[in-house]
Homo-oligomer: A and B are copies of this chain.
């Protein structure tokens, strides 16, 4: 699999359950290693089986929202966010998003006191606190209702423009992707994929 991801755009990976979307994100993040092939960001080489390059995860400056959120259960939402922030101080712009996403009353709650969707939003905010170069989001809308999705998309777009973060989203929600993604990669079960505009790739199958 070889593809270019444009850091200025929001790219989405779409595909059936079990097709390997999460795995692709994990390889980009460096959590798993591809058997062969390359991973590049811009002109930086992150992984190459041929040249035996494998940039450590911590140097890839990546934010990753896992499909199961993975907030630290021993920390409150605020502590989770502080822990992810440089110097332990949550950037002002992200504190504003906390309000926009309706989490303002929940900063001192622990993850197991949150609803599924609250957990998910908190996880996205935590990853933004890292101010990553690339943000990988694995099904970030799965536990959210339409309004919350809209709020979250707005927050992501804001973060993107403010920190010029490249955003790569895995999602099976055609409707959401249609409205917010700039580019879609459609992963297929045979390992092949199509890349293109959401309006082309996603609508065709309806």
Contact = CB atoms under 8 A, between A and B. Distances in A.
Contacts of A117: 17-18, 172
B68 A16 contact: no
Interface residues of A, number: 28
A158 interface: no
A41 interface: no
Among A102, A116, A175, which residue has the most Cβ atoms of chain B within 10 A? A116
Number of copies: 2
B172 A15 contact: no
Given A18-B102, A68-B68, A145 B172 contact: yes
A174 to B, nearest CB: 7
Interface of A: 15-18, 20-22, 67-68, 102, 114-118, 121, 138-139, 142-148, 172, 174-175
